[in-house]
Structure 1
Amino acid sequence: MNPLTADAVMVVHGPEVFDAGDVEWLIRLLSPREVLVAGVMARTAARESGLPVTCTDERPSVLLNALSGRAFLVNRGKTPDSGRIFGEIIAGRLGSGRGLVHVESSSRTVYSWNRADDALAQEIAEMTGFTLASATSTGTPRDGTREIRGCIPGEAVFVNGIVIGTATDETVVLSSRNGTIRPVSGLEVKPHGFEKLLRRGLPDLRAAWCKSGMIRSAPPRPGKVRVSRAGRVAVIDHCGHTLYQEIEDEEVCGVLAIGDDTTAVCGHICSHAGIPVFGVVDGDGDGIVEPGFAPGSVVVEVTYGRDDDLGREVAATRDLEASYWDEWVEETLRSLEGRVRVVVDRREG
């Protein structure tokens, strides 16, 4: 008789499960019917791995809610506690009466949240040798308030892909009142981060993507090298998590990234795809990802002012339909002469 896992969908979250080899091992061991990948950096790690998976733009809870048959979530938290917290959050977002089978690699535990498919959970625990544990989620937070738990003091805190400050406690509490967001506790604020977040509109804290720490700890794996070519220059302004929506376009020949963290994320993701990046930074990066840039990439640091202003000026004044990427970079550097200094240069020669 086939194991239950052979008829189940494995939903994978985060890059660490790929980087640590968990996904490859679980595919070989459990033979799931399908593997769906959730998350931007997970997609990057998945593509680098070459494993037979399907990448999506959806969050784990959205994927799991949309599946009608057997399914389970695989995650590797930065700590066992943060991994458990993540599972609790996802379980609390599933539809009424739906449980969650959650394989947490960091603690070698299979959680059965909210009376999940216990038969599937037990089978996975037996096949992997992981501990089986029953758990109950506490439900959704009260209106207007969001707790970001499992933080390590000193690490960056994100809301919808933008760093809003540094954690000072294991739990960061945010409040949404009177058309703005304010920190309640556990956060050393980065004012520019809040400014960038609110510039895009007031987010719904209950549904917002919130996390802390590095978005990927492993460096990018080198991939293919593209020759300089004509095409469109995609502009990514302080929201690197939207990058895949742009670079899936075959017409894109390079990326203009605005902001330190955005440049780091774009460089990391694009390096495996061989897509060069022109980054505009001002030196206030938070070290959220290991850097890496494809050949042809250039990063400039503004000598005065903010990267926001100069980056948007470049986006507004330079022709974003490039005859050749290398020529576009040369012309852009000439237009910025005396206002920036080159800090990364991956051009040949």
Structure 2
Amino acid sequence: MKKMKIGLVVHGPEIVDSGYALKFLKFLERYGTVKARLGGTMGRTAVIDANLEDKIDISHKLFPSQSVDKFSDEGSDVIFLINYGKSSVTGHAFGYKVYNNSTGHPPIVQMERPGEPDGSVVPWRDDLTPLAAEIATEMGLRLVSPEEIRNTLFSQDPCQGTGQTICRKIAGVSPGENIFVNGIVIGKSTSSEVAIIAEEGIITQLIGGTLKKHGVEKLGPVELEKAIVKTGLLRKSRVKPRILKSEKSNTHFTIAYLSHAAEDIYKLKNADLVVTVGDDTTLVAADILYRFNVPIIGITDGDLDKVVEEGFKTEGSLIIEFESGWDDLVGEKIFSELFNHQESIEIENIENFKSKLLQIISNITSQYQVRYS
């Protein structure tokens, strides 16, 4: 058999945390030359913790379909998409989305939940079935056809009868899970049949769930059909974080401002301090930036959704908690008065900056608590 040029798209932290990303990467080397890159955000933290940056390219923030397109452009003979979904339904729904969001009909074979009894291999193109079947046998996984997946996904549709609005069904949800749209928690499921309704780009309803108004406001207008939707925890594994060394100046300090968890938090890894606004943004940013030894000042209002199993914060971080709804208001004031509407600023004294920030807050309200770490 001729050696193939293989692209490997690694999605999500679980496939890395479980050890299967590395295992499968090594397994594929018998079929040809393998190049791996990440698709998604939270997986980057897992790659860093597993010390796999030299094997899995995390240098660019790419959606999984963008990673697929990149491999297609590079002339890959086959592109493997590996994922460890919450269930086979969510995993297969993810693969379906990636295949349909990619350009043309790329040669994708998906490996889903390899450590589980329902672990599977899916050839998203018919001509890949022999290869997928061989790998399924070798890895002890089930071969699942795209047809089978489509039948499962569209057998029950809560979007039926919703009229002219945009409705997006969410597969494989369990009651009591957070629903993320583009990194923002917009609600919580109350059933396993969940769909998101948007009118004129604004989410107005969560069928089978409770809508979180503050999250919807923070998200703003969204193209629901193209949005990244996730459920449950962004990272379930309990891990030992790996802290990377960084070269930082002792004379000038870079302070960054972050108000949206969907932004590329990794670009802030060389900052000396990051001001984060919003509970979920603060939790996710603190956890990621912990790997780069970057403290945060979190502006929160106690409206915290559990988005990772364990969250880490760098020593020297502050969490400032306000009454409900105040975090955005305070954040905007800080962004205006301290940052002059710039995403990052250079300063000479961090303690002075903290004092000014707390003074701005005190001028707005006395109803807040400061927690140090």
Normalising by structure 1, what TM-score? Answer: 0.87
Mapped to 1, the partners of 2:212 and 2:324 lie a distance apart of 19
Q: Deviations over 1:56-78 (max 9, x none)?
A: 31111222133132211000001
What is aligned with 1:313?
Answer: 333
Q: Is the 2:179–2:185 contact (alpha carbons within 8 Å) kept by the matching residues of 1? A: yes
What is aligned with 2:265?
Answer: 244
What is aligned with 2:141?
Answer: 130
What is aligned with 2:230?
Answer: 211
Give runs of aligned pairs for residues 102-113 of structure 1, distance below 5 A: 102-105=110-113, 106=116, 107-113=118-124
What is aligned with 1:85?
Answer: 93
Whether 1:120 and 2:135 are equivalent positions in the alignment is no
Whether 1:275 and 2:294 are equivalent positions in the alignment is yes
| Structure 1 position 231, deviation (Å) | 2.6
What is aligned with 1:299?
Answer: 319
| Structure 1 position 222, deviation (Å) | 4.2
Whether 1:163 and 2:185 are equivalent positions in the alignment is yes
Q: Deviations over 1:69-122 (max 9, x none)?
A: 221100000122221221222223234444531000243211112425224323
Q: Equivalent residue of 1:102, what SS?
A: strand
Give runs of aligned pairs for residues 246-261 of structure 1, distance below 5 A: 246-247=267-268, 250=270, 252-261=271-280
Q: Equivalent residue of 1:126, what SS?
A: helix
What is aligned with 2:370?
Answer: 342
Q: Is the 2:16–2:46 contact (alpha carbons within 8 Å) kept by the matching residues of 1? A: yes
Return 255-264 or 296-305, whichever deviates more. Answer: 296-305
| Structure 1 position 281, deviation (Å) | 0.6
Amino acid at match of 2:272: C
| Structure 1 position 311, deviation (Å) | 1.7
Q: Deviations over 1:197-246 (max 9, x none)?
A: 12xxx211111111111111234604146678433221111x21213363
Q: Is the 1:99–1:115 contact (alpha carbons within 8 Å) kept by the matching residues of 2? A: no
CA RMSD, 1 decimal: 2.6
What is aligned with 2:24?
Answer: 26
What is aligned with 2:67?
Answer: 63
What is aligned with 1:12?
Answer: 10
Q: Is the 1:143–1:206 contact (alpha carbons within 8 Å) kept by the matching residues of 2? A: no
Return 21-30 or 142-151, whichever deviates more. Answer: 142-151
Q: Is the 2:40–2:61 contact (alpha carbons within 8 Å) kept by the matching residues of 1? A: yes
| Percent identity (aligned) | 28
Q: Equivalent residue of 1:278, what SS?
A: strand
| Structure 1 position 328, deviation (Å) | 2.5
How many residues end up aligned between the 2 structures?
A: 337
Task: Label 1:296 to 1:228 Cα distance change in 2 as closer, same or farther (>3 A).
Answer: farther
Return 225-234 or 203-212, whichever deviates more. Answer: 225-234
Q: Is the 2:81–2:110 contact (alpha carbons within 8 Å) kept by the matching residues of 1? A: yes
Q: Equivalent residue of 1:37, what SS?
A: strand
What is aligned with 1:43?
Answer: 44
Q: Is the 1:159–1:210 contact (alpha carbons within 8 Å) kept by the matching residues of 2? A: yes
Q: Is the 1:29–1:127 contact (alpha carbons within 8 Å) kept by the matching residues of 2? A: no
Q: Is the 2:16–2:22 contact (alpha carbons within 8 Å) kept by the matching residues of 1? A: yes
Return 268-277 or 316-325, whichever deviates more. Answer: 316-325
Q: Deviations over 1:271-303 (max 9, x none)?
A: 011111110111001111121111221111125
Q: Equivalent residue of 1:8, what SS?
A: strand
Mapped to 2, the partners of 1:96 and 1:339 lie a distance apart of 55
Q: Which runs of 5+ in 1 are unaligned?
A: none
Q: Deviations over 1:293-331 (max 9, x none)?
A: 112211111257511111221222225432243443344
Normalising by structure 2, what TM-score? Answer: 0.82
Q: Is the 1:155–1:213 contact (alpha carbons within 8 Å) kept by the matching residues of 2? A: yes
Q: Is the 1:261–1:288 contact (alpha carbons within 8 Å) kept by the matching residues of 2? A: yes
Q: Equivalent residue of 2:49, what SS?
A: helix
Mapped to 2, the partners of 1:336 and 1:178 lie a distance apart of 36
| Structure 1 position 261, deviation (Å) | 0.4
Q: Deviations over 1:130-187 (max 9, x none)?
A: 2222223649999822111111111111111111110122232223334533215112
Q: Is the 2:266–2:288 contact (alpha carbons within 8 Å) kept by the matching residues of 1? A: no
Mapped to 1, the partners of 2:124 and 2:244 lie a distance apart of 42
